[in-house]
Structure 1
Amino acid sequence: MDAKLFSSRPLSLSGVLLFALLATGLSAVALFLDLAAGRVGQTLSLALPLWSCALASAGLGFWVVPLLRSLKAGQIIREDGPQAHLKKAGTPTMGGIFFVPVAVAVALLWSGFSSQVVAVSALTLGYAAIGWLDDWQIIRHKSNKGISPRMKLVLQIGFAALFCLWLMATQPISITNLALPLGLTLPLGFLFWLLAGFVLVAESNATNLTDGLDGLAAGTAAIALLGLGALIAPTSPELMLFCACLSGSCLGFLVHNRNPARVFMGDTGSLALGGALAAVAIITNSLFGLLILSGLFLVETISVIVQVGYYKATKGPDGIGKRFFKMSPYHNHLELSGWSETRIVALFYLVGGLLAFLTLAIC
C-alpha cells in the first residue's frame, strides 16, 4: 500500500466528522426502518446490505485508489473553475469503476438475479460505461474535455430507449399511470415513455453536475438512494435492496472521497448514480417521490440553466453578457461567496436528509 497516499494531504477533521455523521445517520435510519417494518434479520432489508456494500467498497478502494494513482489517472481541473480547486489537479479520478460494480454485484447475487434488479443494474452499468468513456478521454488527452456533449447525449438516450423498451415488454400497462400523493394517478399513456426517457437523461446529468466538491455527490446520492429504497420497500423489496446496496457503496466510497479527497468518482460514478435513481423510480412508479428526493440535483441543474440563459440574454455589443451567479452550478457560487467546501457539503447533506423525510411523509 502506498503510504504517500495517506500522507500527501493533511487530515481534515471536518471531513472525517462529516463522514462519521453521515454514516451514523444513514445506519440509524436504515436500522430504525427495518425495526419498524419487522425486517431485522431478514434477507431483504436496508441496514444489512447498506453496511455490507459500505465495507466492501471501502476495502476495495484501498487497492484501487493507489492503482489509479500509479496509472496516472489524475483529474484535469478546468482553468475557469474556482482557483482553490487547482490544488486538486492530479487527484485520481474514475473512482466509479470500483464502488458502482460492488453495489451491482452484491445486489444481483443477494436478490437472486431478480429481473427488475438485472434491468436496473444493466442501465446503471450502461451509464457508468458512458461516464468511463468520457473520463478515459479526459485522462488520455490531458484535457478537461472528454467525449462531445452530443455523443454523450446520444449514448444516454440510447440506453434510456433500451430500458424503456424492456419496460414496455415486461411491465403491466398500469405503469403508465403516474402515481401522485393522496392516492391520485395521472394517466399518461405513451407520454409516460417520453417522460421516462427524459428523467433518465436529466437525472444522470443532474447528478453529474452535483459532483464538484469532495464528498458532495456521493453523500447526497447515498441519502437519496436510501430514501428511495425506504419509499419503495413495501412494494418492491428487491429494488429496495438494490438502493440500499448502492447507498452503502457510496458510503464506502466516501472513506476515500471525503474532504480532502484521495479519489474522485468522475463521470463513471456520477452518471451511473443518476441513472440508477431514475431507473428504480420509473419501474416502481415513484417519479413524484424522486422529484422531491432529487431536489438538490434539480437546484444544481436549474442554476446552470439560469446562468447560461442570463448570460446569453444580457450579451452586449462586445459579445459579453452578465452572470446571474458568481459561478454555476450553485455549489460553486457558494464557494466563491466565501463558504468552505465542508460547510457547503454539510448543508447539502442536511437538506438532502430533510427532503428524504419529506418524501416519506407525503408519498
Structure 2
Amino acid sequence: MDARFSSKSVGLSGTRLSVILAAGLLSAAIGLDILAGRSVGWGVNLTLPLLVGALLSALAGYGVLPLLHQLKAAQFVREDGPRAHLKKAGTPTMGGIFFIPAAVLVALVWTGFSSPVLAASLLTLAYMAIGWLDDWQVIRRRSNKGISPKLKLMLQMGCAIAFCLWVMASQSPDITSVAIPFGFTLPLGFLFWPLAGFVLVAESNATNLTDGVDGLMGGAGAIALFGLGVLIAPTHPDLMVFCAALSGGCLGFLVHNRNPANVFMGDTGSLALGGALAAAGILSGNLFGLLVVTLLFFAETLSVILQVGYYKATKGPDGKGKRLFKMAPLHHHFELSGWSEIQVVGVFYAVSVLLVTFAISTIH
C-alpha cells in the first residue's frame, strides 16, 4: 500500500478508530430511533441499550482485567503466525468473560426477560462456556492448543440442536419463512431446521476465525450486530434490543481491546458473538439478512477452506503444496502484504458498514 495512505500518515490509531466507530453507531442509533418514532429513553429502542451495554462492559473490564493478570490467563501466540504478533504473547485472553455477560444482562433486564431474548441469551452464554473451556485449556497447557476440534464441534452442535428443538416447540410455523430482498419471503418448511443448526455452528466458527487482530472482531461484531438489530426492528423489537446491547458490549470491549490490546476476547468472546448473531437471525426468520451483514466473517472462513484445499491439491512428491494466500485467515494475508494492523481493521470496518448498508436498503 502507498505510504501516503498509511495509518501513521493519516493520524489513525486504535483509539481514534474505536472512537469513530462508537460515535458513528451511536449517531446512527439516535437517528434511526427518531425516524422510527421510538422514544430515546427507557423502552424499546436502539440508543440506550447500545450505550448502557457499552458503559457496563467497559466498566466490567476494569474490574476483571486485574483478575485475569493474577490468574496468568495469558495468550499463547501461534509460532507460524505473523512475526509482529509474537510481541502479543502474554496479553491476557478470555476477555469475553466480562463483556458478554454484561451485554446479555442489559438485554435481559431491558426486555423484561422476554422469551426470545432469554433463548438467544442462553445460547450466547452456552457458546461462551464452550469458548471458555477452550481458552482455559490453552492457559492450563501453556500452548496455543485448547480442546480438540472434534470436541468443540460436538459441543457446538449439541447446543445448536437443543436451541433448535426449543425454538421448534415454542415458536409459530411462520419462523420457517426466511426474508429475502425487496420484501419477499422464502418458505423453507422443515428444511429451515437443519439450515438453522448449520448456521449456528458456522457463524460461531466464522467469528472465531475473524478474531485475530486487535480490535477486529470487537468492532466488526458491533457493526454486524447493530445492522442485524436494525433489520429485525420492525417485526422483533425485543431482539433488536438484544442486538443493540450486544453491539454496545463489543464497543465497551474495544476500550480494552483497541490496538494495542490490553486483553483479547478469546474463544470465550468470539464463539459467543457468533452464537448471538445466529440466534437473533434464526428467531427473527432473517437468515438472509444475517448472511449479508456477516459476509465478511464468512469470507475469512472461506479463505481458510481455500487455503487448505489448494495446499492439498498442489502437494508434490516432497509432501509440500502451494499456498493461495500468504496466510489464512484473510486478515493475516493483508498483514503479510505490508498492511498495518490498524489498516486491516479500518478497511474491514468499512466493508462491514457497506454490507450492513446494503442489507438494510434491500431487505425489508
Sort the TM-score into its range (normalised by shorter chain).
over 0.9
CA contact (8 A) 2:335 2:341 kept: yes
> Match for 1:114: what amino acid?
S
Tell me, what secondary structure is at the counterpart of 2:182? helix
1:320 match = 320
> Match for 1:64: what amino acid?
V
1:301 match = 301
1:232 match = 232
1:184 Cα deviation after fit? 2.4
Q: Distance in 1 between matches of 2:15 and 2:179?
A: 40
Structure 1 gap ranges (5+)? 1-11
1:181 Cα deviation after fit? 1.7
1:48 Cα deviation after fit? 0.6
CA contact (8 A) 2:74 2:90 kept: yes
Q: Distance in 2 between matches of 1:43 and 1:126?
A: 27
> Match for 2:17: what amino acid?
L
1:92 match = 92
Q: Distance in 1 between matches of 2:335 and 2:12?
A: 19
Structure 2 gap ranges (5+)? 1-10
1:257 match = 257
1:53 Cα deviation after fit? 1.1
Tell me, what secondary structure is at the counterpart of 1:161? helix
Q: Distance in 1 between matches of 2:358 and 2:182?
A: 14
Q: Does 1:16 align with 2:26?
A: no
Listed as ranges, the matches of 1:165-176 within 5 Å are: 165-176=165-176
Q: Distance in 1 between matches of 2:23 and 2:328?
A: 31
1:33 match = 32
The verdict on how the C-alpha distance between 1:67 and 1:13 changes in structure 2, with shifts beyond 3 A counting, is farther
Q: Distance in 1 between matches of 2:46 and 2:13?
A: 27
> Match for 2:195: what amino acid?
L
Tell me, what secondary structure is at the counterpart of 1:178? strand
Q: Does 1:196 align with 2:196?
A: yes
Q: Distance in 1 between matches of 2:30 and 2:41?
A: 11
> Match for 2:204: what amino acid?
S
Listed as ranges, the matches of 1:270-281 within 5 Å are: 270-281=270-281
1:42 Cα deviation after fit? 4.8
User: Which deviates the most, 50-59 or 169-178?
Assistant: 169-178
Q: Distance in 1 between matches of 2:287 and 2:122?
A: 20
Paired residues, number: 352
2:310 match = 310
Q: Does 1:139 align with 2:139?
A: yes
2:245 match = 245
Moved over 3 A (4+): none
1:187 Cα deviation after fit? 2.4
1:60 match = 60
The verdict on how the C-alpha distance between 1:250 and 1:122 changes in structure 2, with shifts beyond 3 A counting, is same
CA displacement 1:2-47 (0-9 Å, x = unmatched):
xxxxxxxxxx961111011001101111111011011123511111
Identity %: 67
1:90 Cα deviation after fit? 0.5
Q: Distance in 2 between matches of 1:176 and 1:50?
A: 29
> Match for 1:95: what amino acid?
G
CA displacement 1:179-203 (0-9 Å, x = unmatched):
2122323222221100000000000
1:113 match = 113
User: Which deviates the most, 119-128 or 172-181?
Assistant: 172-181
> Match for 1:24: what amino acid?
A
Listed as ranges, the matches of 1:339-354 within 5 Å are: 339-354=339-354
1:7 match = none
1:354 Cα deviation after fit? 1.0
CA contact (8 A) 2:12 2:342 kept: no
> Match for 1:321: what amino acid?
G
CA displacement 1:124-178 (0-9 Å, x = unmatched):
0000000000000000000101000000000000000000001110111121222
> Match for 1:257: what amino acid?
N
TM-score calculated relative to the size of structure 2: 0.95
CA contact (8 A) 2:179 2:289 kept: no
Q: Distance in 1 between matches of 2:230 and 2:178?
A: 19
1:284 Cα deviation after fit? 0.3
Tell me, what secondary structure is at the counterpart of 1:190? helix
